[in-house]
Amino acid sequence: MKIIAFNGSPRKEWNTATLLKKALEGASSQGAQTELIHLYDLKYKGCISCFACKKKEGVSYGKCAVKDALKPIFEKVETVDAVIFGSPVYLGTITGAMQSFMERLVFPYIIYSDPPASLFPKKIHTGFIYTMGVSEQAMDQFGYQQRFANIERLLKIIFGSGDTLLSFDTLQFEDYSKVVAPRFDPVQKLKRRKEIFPKDCQKAFEMGARFATKEKI
CA 163 to chain centre: 10
- pLDDT at position 142: 85
Residue 201 has pLDDT above 90, yes or no: yes
- pLDDT at position 216: 67
- pTM tops 0.75: yes
Alpha helices in the chain, H assignment, sequence order? 15-29, 71-77, 96-106, 136-142, 144-159, 186-195, 197-213
Domain boundaries defined on the chain: 2-213
- pLDDT at position 143: 83
What CATH class does 2-213 carry?
Answer: alpha beta
- pLDDT at position 217: 61
The residues, ordered by sequence, that sit 6+ positions from 182 with a Cβ below 8 Å of its Cβ are none
- pLDDT at position 7: 98
- pLDDT at position 139: 85
Distances (CA, A) of 89 to 9, 134, 142, 212: 9, 9, 12, 27
Neighbouring C-beta atoms of residue 9, cutoff 10 Å = 25
For residue 154, what pLDDT band results from cuts at 50, 70 and 90? Answer: very high
Three-state secondary-structure class, residue 121: coil
Average pLDDT rounded to a whole number, residues 186-202: 94
* Mean confidence (pLDDT) of the chain: 94
Three-state secondary-structure class, residue 107: helix
Closest CA to 87 of 168, 13, 10, 172: 10
For residue 40, what pLDDT band results from cuts at 50, 70 and 90? Answer: very high
Closest CA to 194 of 166, 169, 176: 169
One-letter identity of residue 101 = F
- pLDDT at position 48: 96
